[in-house]
A and B are shown apart, each in its own frame.
Chain A
């Protein structure tokens, strides 16, 4: 029988698409329904934040760092403050550390709830999106109570935090955590054993360990491939070494594991916040040297923290002046978009959509 002549054709999963998170263009070379090659084209969200930060004082840099990755703004502000504090060798008061941990973990839960909603929506289950956002409202209300903002907080300062928590925060926070842990069992019941969900995510887009390490994949994507590496344990910053929590790991590296791992992480974050609320001491919320005209001594350091996406890092070089000399930010999604062509081919488009969703890529981190 004669071989039918087929041709590969190029399809553009354009910058505006309902299921690319942010503006990312993927140029797909397809052979029928299978994807042969992916070429990510980024840069649609490049705002030159690093260049602008070279002309801003340290305090003015904090809201700019918020926009590097606006879903988990607290982490971005924190990593910059951590870098400056390490250079200046500042001691942070206890209460500020506890408040920072509470805010960071609340932000992690909010980000994972958003991941849950958006992933379910991309794979076709349209209702969990609203459930995830309903719970996220509880957390975002807490943030609004504290610092007035719902998405980009400008809360963590170099040397502490900007404001103390208001009265009623602790009860509201505990209530919110209780509701979220109850609803988590609802979410798991809705999707975890659903045969359609399992067919769409189990065994799909497996990320092998060696490829993950070679391409710098970090965070839940790395832990879902079997490597237990979490900066909160391996290189503890802030007061994470005082809390008792587990680092969940899964070994298959497919979409289903990446999805399950993030739900596990929500449970661990709830544990951490409960312990932090129990042990919250009284005291100052800012170091005495933290003020608008903060000047770091000359020095440079690379501060890295465990964001909800992976390793968020800031390489800060200070020359002793009021403005930083160089701020290089490293977002986890930069590496994840880079590794996508190397394991995301040879599958159908529906699998690519599931893959892209479970990698939890947020574009502002990639383009900055």
Chain B
């Protein structure tokens, strides 16, 4: 399917789950409600004509007004690509883990939690990996995070 056909197919079948967003250029971009995330992921993976089996990327975003989690997926078998995002307010930053559907997402969710503080439910290993183990300065990628002016001395 070409990109326009994909957009038409999704508008026809999944219009109540996936709302198209105009800001996405090139690949179709949709917005998904936080509560329906797992359902949508299952549907996208198991639909016969779509079969989105490859997760390309998951990134957290802090727009200054809310958090977002952007998922970029692809289908190797049908040669399709799609993006969708989940918008969350600051005080309700939580998503479900999708690691049974796309096992690759495990480390991406860990990174998102570590840098943004977006909690991931049902994840098996939410521990630090990019930042040092004794990091206690908060979630760095947030817009309101200020790099404290300090020089760390190693513990001797």
Q: A-side interface residues toward B, CB under 8 Å?
A: 41-43, 46, 48, 50-51, 86-87, 89, 213-216, 218, 227, 229, 234-235, 298-304, 311, 313, 315, 317, 319, 325-326, 328, 330, 334-335, 338-339, 367
Which residues of chain A come closer than 8 Å to B141, judged between CB atoms?
A: 50-51
User: Is the pair A213, B27 in contact by a Cβ cutoff of 8 Å?
Assistant: no
User: Is the pair B130, A301 in contact by a Cβ cutoff of 8 Å?
Assistant: no
The contact of A300 among B24, B60, B76, B81, by CB within 8 Å, is B24
Which residues of chain A come closer than 8 Å to B60, judged between CB atoms?
A: 328
Q: Which of B72-113 contact A (CB under 8 A)?
A: 72, 76, 79, 81, 83, 102-104, 106-108
The contact of A51 among B59, B83, B103, B140, by CB within 8 Å, is B140
Q: How far is the CA of A302 from the CA of B70 in the complex (A)?
A: 10
The contact of B70 among A41, A86, A315, A338, by CB within 8 Å, is A315
Q: How far is the CA of A301 from the CA of B107 in the complex (A)?
A: 22
Q: How far is the CA of A299 from the CA of B16 in the complex (A)?
A: 23
Query: Is B35 interfacial (CB-CB < 8 Å)?
Result: no
Which residues of chain B come closer than 8 Å to A334, judged between CB atoms?
A: 107-108
User: Is the pair B59, A328 in contact by a Cβ cutoff of 8 Å?
Assistant: yes
The contact of A330 among B27, B57, B79, B131, by CB within 8 Å, is B57
User: Is the pair B130, A42 in contact by a Cβ cutoff of 8 Å?
Assistant: yes
The contact of A311 among B24, B56, B108, by CB within 8 Å, is B56
Q: Which of B41-67 contact A (CB under 8 A)?
A: 53-57, 59-63
Which residues of chain A come closer than 8 Å to B53, judged between CB atoms?
A: 213-214
The contact of A235 among B29, B81, B104, B129, by CB within 8 Å, is B81
User: Is the pair B130, A303 in contact by a Cβ cutoff of 8 Å?
Assistant: no
| B141 nearest CB neighbor, chain A only | A51
User: Is the pair B104, A299 in contact by a Cβ cutoff of 8 Å?
Assistant: no
CB of A84, distance to nearest CB on chain B (Å): 10
Query: Is B150 interfacial (CB-CB < 8 Å)?
Result: no
**A-B complex: 4 closest residue pairs judged by Cβ atoms:** A328-B59, A216-B104, A330-B57, A301-B25
Report if A43-B129 is in contact (Cβ < 8 Å); known contacts: A51-B140, A214-B103: yes
Q: How far is the CA of A89 from the CA of B25 in the complex (A)?
A: 9
Q: How far is the CA of A48 from the CA of B132 in the complex (A)?
A: 12
Which residues of chain B come closer than 8 Å to A48, judged between CB atoms?
A: 140
Which residues of chain A come closer than 8 Å to B27, judged between CB atoms?
A: 301-302
Pull 10 A–B residue pairs with CB atoms less than 8 Å apart, ordered by A. A46-B131, A87-B25, A216-B56, A298-B23, A302-B27, A302-B70, A315-B72, A315-B83, A326-B63, A330-B59
CB of B112, distance to nearest CB on chain A (Å): 10
Which residues of chain A come closer than 8 Å to B103, judged between CB atoms?
A: 214-215
| B129 nearest CB neighbor, chain A only | A43
| A233 nearest CB neighbor, chain B only | B79
User: Is the pair A301, B26 in contact by a Cβ cutoff of 8 Å?
Assistant: yes
CB of B106, distance to nearest CB on chain A (Å): 7
Which residues of chain B come closer than 8 Å to A214, judged between CB atoms?
A: 53, 102-104
Report if A43-B25 is in contact (Cβ < 8 Å); known contacts: A51-B140, A311-B56, A338-B106: no
Which residues of chain B come closer than 8 Å to A216, judged between CB atoms?
A: 54-56, 102, 104
- From B60, B76, B141, name the one whose CB has the most chain A CB atoms within 10 angstroms: B76
User: Is the pair A302, B54 in contact by a Cβ cutoff of 8 Å?
Assistant: no
The contact of A303 among B26, B62, B128, B129, by CB within 8 Å, is B26
Q: How far is the CA of A304 from the CA of B106 in the complex (A)?
A: 21
Q: How far is the CA of A229 from the CA of B79 in the complex (A)?
A: 9
CB of B17, distance to nearest CB on chain A (Å): 20
Which residues of chain A come closer than 8 Å to B132, judged between CB atoms?
A: 43
Which residues of chain A come closer than 8 Å to B55, judged between CB atoms?
A: 216
The contact of A302 among B72, B131, B140, by CB within 8 Å, is B72
User: Is the pair A215, B104 in contact by a Cβ cutoff of 8 Å?
Assistant: yes
Report if A302-B56 is in contact (Cβ < 8 Å); known contacts: A43-B130, A51-B140, A51-B141: yes
Which residues of chain A come closer than 8 Å to B26, judged between CB atoms?
A: 86, 301-303
| B133 nearest CB neighbor, chain A only | A43
Q: How far is the CA of A304 from the CA of B130 in the complex (A)?
A: 23
Q: How far is the CA of A326 from the CA of B56 in the complex (A)?
A: 17
Which residues of chain B come closer than 8 Å to A218, judged between CB atoms?
A: 54
Q: How far is the CA of A140 from the CA of B63 in the complex (A)?
A: 40
| A48 nearest CB neighbor, chain B only | B140
Which residues of chain B come closer than 8 Å to A87, judged between CB atoms?
A: 25
Which residues of chain A come closer than 8 Å to B72, judged between CB atoms?
A: 302, 304, 313, 315, 330
